[in-house]
Amino acid sequence: MSHNSMSAEELLQRYAAGERNFPNVLIYGTGLRGATLNDINLSGSELGCDLSGAELRNANLSKAELGSAELNGADLYGANLSSATLANPMRGITLVNANLSGAVIAEADLSGALFCGANLSNCNLSQSCLEGVNMRNANLRGAYLGETFGRADFTGADLTGAEEFGQANAILCNTIMPDGSVCNDDCPRGIH
């Protein structure tokens, strides 16, 4: 796929002027740290820039290549990241109600990330750090969780058909396990 190269400065200027549609762009370098880019369309784009602390609420990043983007503390509430590729540290990232179906998030540091209500169906999370990750009510149907590590909260999550789920220290309450059974091992007394 051909990408149109664009500087962070140009993107910010055009966004400030009201433009929101930037599919298939190529942006590397600095200049987007902490930027507010809500409702932006960057589908199919390749972003190798620092987006730490950026606000990309309801952004369209479907099929985007974010493998070398810095996303620590970014807010992607409700964003569409279906079939996107992510890999760099994403500590403290907010992906509440985000669509990550079919995304590849392999070998990523997701420490403290919020995935509440997110769609991670058929997502590849192999070799990722899930320490302190909140997966409450997330859809992980058919996800690949091979060799993930760290204590994550899967309360109310749906893991039906998930592969290689070996989270021995995961928090499980009203969690639908890969085989379809419901696990309540970590529910507070009286709550099931």
Q: What is the pLDDT of residues 82-96, one digit of tens each?
A: 999 998 889 999 999
Span 54-110, pLDDT tens digits:
999 999 999 999 989 999 999 999 999 999 999 888 999 999 999 999 999 988 999
Beta bridge partners of 85: 65, 104
Query: Could you tell me which of 62, 72, 68 has the C-alpha nearest to residue 47?
Result: 68
- What is the radius of gyration, based on Cα positions, of the chain? 17
Residue-range domains of the chain with CATH: 1-192 (2.160.20)
pTM of the predicted protein model: 0.93
* Interacting residues of 132 by C-beta distance below 8 A, sequence separation 6+: 111, 112, 150, 151, 152
